Structure 1
Amino acid sequence: MALSGAGPEGRECGSDDFIKLCNPNLSRMKEDILYHFSLSTSTHDLPAMFGDVKFVCVGGSPSRMKAFITYVASELGLGRPGEDYPNICSGTDRYVMFKVGPVLSVSHGIGIPSIAIMLHELLKLLYHARCSGVTVIRIGTSGGIGLEPGSVVITQQAVDARFKPEFEQMVLGKQVVRTTDLDAQLVQELVRCSADLDEFPTVVGNTMCTLDFYEGQGRLDGALCCYTEQDKQEYLRAAHAAGVCNIEMESSVFAAMCSACGLPAAVVCVTLLDRLQGDQICSPHEVLVAYQQRPQRLVSHFIKQRLTKA
Structure 2
Amino acid sequence: MTERVTKRGIRDFILICILAMLVGTFVPVGVSAATTYSRTLNSCIVKAKKGRIVLAYNPSQTGVPVYARTSPKSQQYGVLGFGDAVVVNTKKLKMNKKYAWLPVYMDNLKDAKGKKATAYVRMGQLKLLSLNAKKYSSNRIIDKAIKTGMKYLGTPFILGGLSMTDGIDCSGFVGKCFQMAGRNLASWYHTITLEGVSRQIFWHNTNTPLTKEELNKMKVGDLLFYLDKDTSGAIGHVGIYIGKGMMLNASGHYGYVYPTGGVCIKRVQYGQRYMVLCKRIIGF
Asked if these proteins are the same fold (TM beyond 0.5), I'd say no
Q: Higher strand proportion, which one? A: 2
Normalising by structure 1, report the TM-score: 0.23
Q: Higher helix proportion, which one? A: 1
Larger Rg: 2
Which has the higher relative contact order, 1 or 2, with Cα contacts under 8 A spaced 6 or more apart? 1
